[in-house]
Chains A and B, each alone.
Chain A
Amino acid sequence: MIFFEQIISGLVTGSIYSLLGLGFTMIYACTKRINFAHGELMALGGFVGLVFIEIFPSCLFLSFVLGPLTIGLIAIIIERLFLRRLQEAQPLKIVIATIGLSVVLSVAMQIIWGPYPKSYPNFISEKPFSFIGVKIIPQNLFIFLISISLMIVLQCFFLYTKKGRALRALSQDRYAARLMGIKVGQNISLIYCISGILAGIAGMFMAPIYFVSSSIGTFLGLKAFIAAVIGGLGSVPGTIAGGFFLGIVENLSSGFISSKYKSGISMLFLVLVLLFSPKGLLSIFHKVNLLKWRKSKK
């Protein structure tokens, strides 16, 4: 039973990794750049959400809408002010710039909200109920279900709406997309906004588990990036799978081996995946023709 409980808590951390990793993946797919300030946006989401909860203590739903929207707005501002200047620069330069930005953001949060972690109110009761002998905390179930439904909505948005199709065209070939009348700058802003909103939601979800502090952003952002790379940077289903995979592996290893080397194990996975299958774990399925077989049958 401990095994299943570890897996369930792995699914909860995994859903946070996936929500964050989706931001990395979408920005990478559309601009071929990686925004390392993304983890800090998540921490900021936690703090801003706390501010809104204190303003509207009675209506939790309202702060869950307003908090992420604010983060989306901040993401657009960051993109317009700093990252658009670097659009044509070398990829590594933008990485260095965004790491600088993340340091700035985390220190700014430390100045505003202080260095100590802040506790968060629970959305739903923390009293566990048991389901076929496995103890489940309702709040974790809530986090998991909401994240899964958000991911499904996102995937449907990319597959079935006109705007989503435009974004996919943008990720394939920016110049061809511009020739077809897709406004590149506007759509990149939209992508930053969506990823900011997801980061804000992840920030409010992780807050009851990890507490909010100014240093949590770098830590979780790195994990989410590893998850995205493990699953396959640039592919939405890959990133979701990678996030859940990393969450489960981390929880199982800390449960059964040692919690000291928890982040070391995820780093080890990153190196192994990069060495043997640099396009992510999902590309292994392509390699063994599991997916091609279905296509040829059609």
Chain B
Amino acid sequence: MKSIKHIFPLFILILTLSIIGFIPNIYYLHLFNLILIYSIFSLGLNILTGYTGITSFGHAGFFALGAYATAILSTRYGVPPILSIFFASFFTGIAGFIIGLPVIRISGIYLAMVTLGSAEFIRLLALNWDSLTGGPVGISNIPALSIFGCYFKSERSLFFFLYVILIISTFIFVRITNSRFGKSLIAIKDDEQAAESIGIPCAKNKLISFFISGLYSGLSGALYAHFDRFIHPASFTFSLSVLVLCMVILGGMGTVFGSILGAILIVILLEYLQPLGDYRLFVYGMLLVIMISYFPQGLIGILKEVSGHFRKNKFIKYYLRKNENI
């Protein structure tokens, strides 16, 4: 029985890969690629907001840093994209560490303001440093992803590549959050003083979680740059930060599958509300307010309640119980 439980997630992964990967409609594949990129992004925010309990309103800044780093490296200096992505991700991680440095002294809403301010500063830099970032025009003709000479130019091949990246990063994420370090982050979120008193180095662990968050957000930004192949400062505004916060809260803070679920729902909403134009934000705002005031546990929390009514469904219960421990 236990071996089935271990094979089950693998089975689901391969099933979704084979179903989605061979959908004939390119448009749907494009949507799934966006979902994969935003999943990594919301995982990056989740480790800060869901686990360590630090709310960031500036993750668009990390996303922009990753995108610009890889774009500049691969267009100006001819670095192969696969290398520049990892460099950009690491660079954003370091930047996240530096932006997170005030965490030693301040917390809560003030820290959220620092992240917001830094994101705004990064956007201003991208807008005004013409010689490096191309100013308001942005950077175009970013090369497509390639490994050893084989290019991922079509949406379908890119889908497989992104899928593999998402699985690897989710796996690492689960390992991190289930480790001693991940548990200590949850302890910090629940009660910082109590965590400090049992010997958890709070400031250090918070800084590391900032680093990991920057790593994930930078990775997703870099992937986005090579996916869209054109970036400009107007796409990294405050509304992107709200969007990713929406994903994390909608799915459920502090759960791995919650943030992926949130990314799926938000991207689908984003596409189906396209005719509304800018008024889409109205729906997001309402979603944020209603979710926070009525269902603070997110969709995973709602699922948990529903599964209480249908006790016979053992698989759902097993996964939900597993999430409960996280």
Contacts and interface: CB of A to CB of B under 8 A. Distances in A.
Interface stretch (B87-95, B116-124, B143-151, B259-267): B116-124
Interface residues of A, number: 39
B106 interface: yes
B118 A267 contact: yes
Interface of A is mostly: helix
Interface in B74-109: 102, 105-106, 108-109
Interface string B50-90: 00010101000000000000000000000000000000000
Interface residues of B, number: 39
Nearest to A100: B288
Contacts of A86: 292-293
A115 B109 CA distance: 30
B204 to A, nearest CB: 18
A225 B113 contact: yes
Contacts of A222: 116
Nearest to A266: B117
A57 interface: no
Contacts of B289: 82, 97, 100-101, 104
Contact of B285 (A103, A115, A229, A275): A103
B285 A104 contact: yes
Contacts of A271: 102, 114, 117-118
A96 B288 contact: yes
A69 B180 CA distance: 55
B245 to A, nearest CB: 7
B282 A103 contact: yes
A85 interface: yes
Interface string A114-128: 010000000000000
Interface in A71-107: 82, 85-86, 89, 91-93, 95-97, 99-104, 106-107
Given A96-B245, A96-B249, A274 B293 contact: no
A101 B292 CA distance: 11
A65 interface: no
A110 interface: yes
Contacts, number: 109
Contacts of B128: 260-261
B110 to A, nearest CB: 5
Nearest to A267: B117
Nearest to B284: A103
Contact of B286 (A92, A104, A225, A260): A104
Contact of B113 (A115, A274, A275): A274
A89 B117 contact: no
B106 A107 contact: no
B282 A275 contact: no
Contacts of A264: 120-121, 124-125
Contacts of A89: 292, 296
Nearest to B99: A271
Nearest to B125: A264
B288 to A, nearest CB: 3
Interface string A260-277: 110110011011001100
Interface centre among A86, A107, A260, A278 (most CB of B within 10 A): A107
B108 A92 contact: yes
Nearest to B119: A267
B144 to A, nearest CB: 33
A99 B242 CA distance: 8
Given A93-B292, A110-B278, 20 more contacts: A86-B292, A91-B109, A92-B53, A92-B112, A95-B55, A95-B112, A96-B245, A97-B288, A97-B292, A97-B293, A100-B242, A101-B285, A103-B239, A104-B285, A106-B281, A107-B282, A264-B120, A264-B124, A267-B121, A274-B102
Interface of B: 53, 55, 57, 102, 105-106, 108-110, 112-114, 116-118, 120-121, 124-125, 127-128, 238-239, 242, 245, 249, 278-279, 281-282, 284-289, 292-293, 296
23 contacts: A86-B292, A93-B292, A96-B245, A96-B292, A99-B57, A100-B285, A100-B287, A100-B289, A102-B285, A103-B288, A104-B285, A104-B289, A226-B113, A226-B117, A229-B113, A260-B128, A263-B120, A264-B121, A267-B120, A274-B105, A274-B113, A274-B114, A275-B106
> Which 8 pairs across A and B sit closest by C-beta, in order of nearness?
A100-B288, A103-B285, A267-B117, A104-B285, A107-B282, A100-B289, A100-B285, A97-B292
